[in-house]
A and B are shown apart, each in its own frame.
Chain A
Amino acid sequence: MHIMEGYLPASHALGWTIAAAPFVLAGTARIRGIIREKPEARLTLAASGAFAFVLSALKIPSVTGSCSHPTGTGLGAIVFGPSVMAVLGLIVLLFQALLLAHGGITTLGANTFSMAIVGPWVAFGIWKLAGRLGMPFAVAVFLAASLGDLATYVFTSLQLALAYPDPVSGFVGAAAKFAGIFAITQLPLAIAEGLLTVVVMEALSGKIRDEDRVATLAGEGK
């Protein structure tokens, strides 16, 4: 999902940066609040960022014969709500932009928007919806993390289509072409991310009932 350095027109780069900024600021405030009010959740917060660090470093082969990476942003979004991931995701993207030439400074806003904002918000929305529908913990976490991962890649496709519409088929045609590269490759990876998120949340919360896991991780349990 990394849009490479200099690959978005300057106006788009600026636009996505401006669009992402308030989410990052809100996330910073939320993280401060968590650290102040729920010291027990600090470790989970660190683990949420670290999980995104690990997963986004793993280039995984897919059925399309190309490689992509999961995002790992669903875990933190489920436990703390989506805003914290805007900051944690930005840190991951900054590390990759500066040390790996993956993504870039000019495309940091756009990449933050897809990976650290859209993905976490979709994951959070699915998690809430699944809870309302009475789905069990493991199913709800799996769906939230998988679909959040997938949403990030679909959104990257839309961002690229917006910048580079197809001369004949326009925005829709270009979106389909970019999604053909990203979304299909991402399907098995999204499933893997969903499964890993369940495993890690279970390991992080220890031997307790499924219903209590998220509250415990968020520092709201006893």
Chain B
Amino acid sequence: MSKRSYWMLLAVALLVIAPLLMGGEFGGADGAAAALVEQTEGFATWFDPIWTPPSGEIEGMFFSLQAALGALVVGYAIGRAHERGRSKDLKDGDTPPQA
């Protein structure tokens, strides 16, 4: 990974950590918008979710699953790109590694 990437990842980490240090309740923005909608006079939802995770734990599991599945595929693709780069280097005339 390039030096540039390391700096950018560090910046991402800071962007996440800084708000935590500043403090707050950290509720979801989607929920805040929904609360604003609910203030509308006569508002009522007309359709309920078909299935709702029974607890925060189950919800956490599905969110983790979503992130894990995505990361698995992205990681696999990066690994393949790395492998492709290495075999190309070899073709370009580098000494192959001794078995």
A5, B85: Cα distance in complex, Å: 46
Query: A57-90 toward B: CB 8 Å interface, digit per residue (1/0)?
Result: 1111111111110000000000000000000000
Is A182 touching B20 in the complex (CB atoms < 8 A)? no
Given A100-B63, A202-B2, A206-B85: A196 touches B48 (CB 8 Å cut-off): no
> Could you tell me which residues of chain A, from 5 to 54, have a CB within 8 Å of some CB in chain B?
5-7, 9-10, 43-44, 46-47, 49-54
Q: Is A204 an interface residue (CB 8 A)?
A: yes
Is B12 touching A7 in the complex (CB atoms < 8 A)? no
Is A206 touching B84 in the complex (CB atoms < 8 A)? yes
Given A5-B47, A188-B15, A195-B12: A67 touches B29 (CB 8 Å cut-off): yes
Chain A residues, CB < 8 A from B19: 61-63, 65, 188
Taking residues whose C-beta sits less than 8 angstroms from the other chain, chain B's interface range is 35 or more
Chain B residues, CB < 8 A from A204: 74, 77-78, 81
Q: Is A102 an interface residue (CB 8 A)?
A: yes
Q: Is B99 an interface residue (CB 8 A)?
A: no
Taking residues whose C-beta sits less than 8 angstroms from the other chain, chain A's interface range is 35 or more
Residue of B nearest to A178 (CB): B33
Residue of A nearest to B35 (CB): A181
> Could you tell me which residues of chain A, from 153 to 176, have a CB within 8 Å of some CB in chain B?
156-157, 160, 163-164, 167
Is B36 touching A53 in the complex (CB atoms < 8 A)? no
Q: Contact partner of A4 among B18, B30, B84, CB < 8 A?
A: B30
Q: Is B5 an interface residue (CB 8 A)?
A: yes
Chain B residues, CB < 8 A from A52: 70
Is A160 touching B37 in the complex (CB atoms < 8 A)? yes
Is B67 touching A53 in the complex (CB atoms < 8 A)? yes
Is A65 touching B26 in the complex (CB atoms < 8 A)? yes
Is B36 touching A181 in the complex (CB atoms < 8 A)? yes
Q: Is B25 an interface residue (CB 8 A)?
A: yes
Chain B proximity of A54: nearest CB distance (Å): 3
Query: A178-209 toward B: CB 8 Å interface, digit per residue (1/0)?
Result: 10011001101101100110111011111110
Residue of A nearest to B64 (CB): A57
Query: B3-34 toward A: CB 8 Å interface, digit per residue (1/0)?
Result: 01100110110011011101111111110111
* Most chain A Cβ neighbours within 10 Å, of B33, B50, B63: B33
Chain A residues, CB < 8 A from B27: 66-67
B residues lining the A interface (CB < 8 Å): 1-2, 4-5, 8-9, 11-12, 15-16, 18-20, 22-30, 32-34, 36-37, 40-41, 43, 45-53, 59, 62-64, 66-67, 69-74, 76-78, 80-82, 84-85
A64-B29, A105-B47 are known; give 19 further A-B pairs, CB within 8 A.
Answer: A43-B76, A47-B73, A50-B72, A53-B73, A54-B70, A65-B25, A67-B29, A95-B66, A101-B51, A105-B50, A156-B33, A160-B36, A163-B37, A164-B36, A191-B15, A199-B5, A202-B2, A203-B81, A205-B81
